[in-house]
Amino acid sequence: MTDNVQTLEYGLASPAEQRNKVMRNTYWLLALSLLPTIAGAWLGVATGITQALSGGLGLVVFLGGAFGFMYAIEKTKNSAAGVPVLLGFTFFMGLMLSRMIGMILGFKNGSELIMTAMGGTAGVFFVMATLASVIKRDISGMGKWLFVGAVVVMVGGIINIFVGSTAGMMAISVAVIAIFSAYMLYDLKQILDGGETNYITATLALYLDVFNVFQALLALLGIMGGERD
């Protein structure tokens, strides 16, 4: 029923109106999705429930949960269940982030580092949203290269979990910030150009961009600027 109403509304609207509606709904849902993320991170820090998830166990839980949720989102994106499933995913991601948040809060300036990472992520999003609105050329060809880059840094990150190299972590964090900032531009441009018409799918893509940039910034700030008591 929800999908039929959405299809009817889009069918009656002009292409520009359709794109604006998808973008507006995406922004609202993206903002809403941050609330379960914060709740999940708070719960994880308060209870310490994720402290045991280190090394290979943490990786298995994270990848299994993340890909399971993303599969469910894809299956429900055209139904009324799509939004609740997406919000469940963002809660899970917040829970998985809580281990790093707890480590950063262990620094004397931990709260400042978290606020700096949040501000930096918001700044990246603003810049990419501005660029997406002014760039007129088609950048859809970036997609395959960004995907390859994302796979490479993911593999590098998995290897570094077992190696435990600080320099490797810094290099991977810088690469993640660069790749997912570019992905942010790509995903926003896809919506503006009408290449993505489902706001749940669009929100998922942008959420992953924002999450990865924030997490990488936080890791980098913790390594370079964390102050011990």
Nearest CA to 3 among 61, 83, 69? 83
CA–CA distance, 220 with 114 (Å, rounded to integer) = 11
Rounded to whole angstroms, how far apart are CA atoms 172 and 165? 10
Whether 169 and 219 have beta carbons less than 8 Å apart is answered as yes
Choice between 19 and 88, residue whose per-residue pLDDT is larger: 88
The reported pTM is: 0.88
pLDDT digits (tens, 9 = 90+) for 110-149: 899 999 999 999 999 999 999 998 988 888 888 899 999 9
Structure tokens at 107: 């620094």
Distance CA 13, CA 78 (A): 19
Mean local confidence (pLDDT), 42-57: 79
Q: Which of 176, 194, 179 is nearest to 145 (CA)?
A: 179
pLDDT of residue 130: 94
State whether residue 34 is helix, strand or coil.
helix
- When pLDDT is cut at 50, 70 and 90, the band that residue 50 belongs to is confident
Token couple for 7: 């299809």
- pLDDT of 1 over the 60 cut: no
- At position 158, the amino acid (one-letter code) is I
Amino acid at 27: Y
Buried b (16+ CB within 10 A) or exposed e, 171-203: ebbebbbebbbbbbbbbbbbbbeeebbbbbbbb
Contact yes or no for 161/55 (Cβ under 8 A): yes
How does residue 13 score in pLDDT terms, banded at 50, 70 and 90? Answer: low
Handedness of CA 167, 124, 38, 65 (dihedral sign): negative
Q: Cα separation of 205 and 72, whole Å? A: 14
Three-class SS state of 120: helix
- Name the phi and psi angles at 48, rounded to 5: 70, 20
Closest by CA to 89, choosing from 163, 23, 20, 33, is 33
- Whole-Å CA distances, 83 to 33, 63, 152, 194, 201: 9, 21, 30, 21, 10
